[in-house]
Amino acid sequence: MLSKNLLTKLNEQITHEFYSAQYYLAMAAYFKKEDLDGFANFFIVQAEEERFHAMKYFEFINDQGEEAIITGFKDPKREFTSAEEIFSLALEHEKLVSSLINDLMNIAQEEKHHPSIGFLQWFIAEQVEEEASMSRLLSLVKRVGEQGHGILMLDRELAARTFNPAAE
């Protein structure tokens, strides 16, 4: 059984994950407007992953015999000026999500709730990958700049990204 505190925090994480999906869709919209469909694809796939993560929390809460509570969230930022700004914001956002998941793990460990500890381990490992991915892409965007062949090559690379929940 989940404590009231842990249940509340897990439900809040569902909201954070759905917000992340919306945030990344707003970023995809910017790239669509800029005719960088590969970059847009990257963030559309990222949004799909975030919705998948939200549903993992949803299912876990229900599997624990509790009720998942779905709430609204604030509108995400939707005005951007550059790819570099977006990847900087995305990296910052992933670091925030990592801290939220680490806080959840701390609660689960304090309460010795082993099912939650096991469940959250996957998300902690996932966040290492998420931060590394955003950091790498930010570095590449800084290196190639916003115009020219480099950004187009990176756009082509990002166009190949697909969502594969089986690999999750």
How does residue 167 score in pLDDT terms, banded at 50, 70 and 90? low
Does some domain include residue 75? Answer: no
Does some domain include residue 151? Answer: yes
Dump pLDDT digits (tens) for 97-133.
999 999 999 999 999 999 999 999 999 999 999 999 9
Residue 135, H or E segment: helix 114-144
Does some domain include residue 166? Answer: no
For 127, the domain range is 4-70+80-161
| Higher per-residue pLDDT: 39 or 73 | 39
pTM, two decimal places = 0.94
Does some domain include residue 39? Answer: yes
Does some domain include residue 111? Answer: yes
74: exposed, middle or buried (C-beta count within 10 Å: 0-12, 13-18, 19+)? Answer: exposed
Does some domain include residue 167? Answer: no
Distance CA 49, CA 27 (A): 15
Residues contacting residue 69 through CB under 8 Å, at least 6 positions apart: 11, 14
Does some domain include residue 54? Answer: yes
Dump pLDDT digits (tens) for 10-68.
999 999 999 999 999 999 999 999 999 999 999 999 999 999 999 999 999 999 999 99
For residue 166, which amino acid is it?
A
Q: Which residues in 133-161 are b (16+ Cβ under 10 Å) and which e?
A: bbeebbebbeebeeeeeebeebbeebeee
| Domain total of the chain | 1
Please give the structure tokens belonging to residue 18. Answer: 């759905």
CATH number of 63's domain:
1.20.1260.10
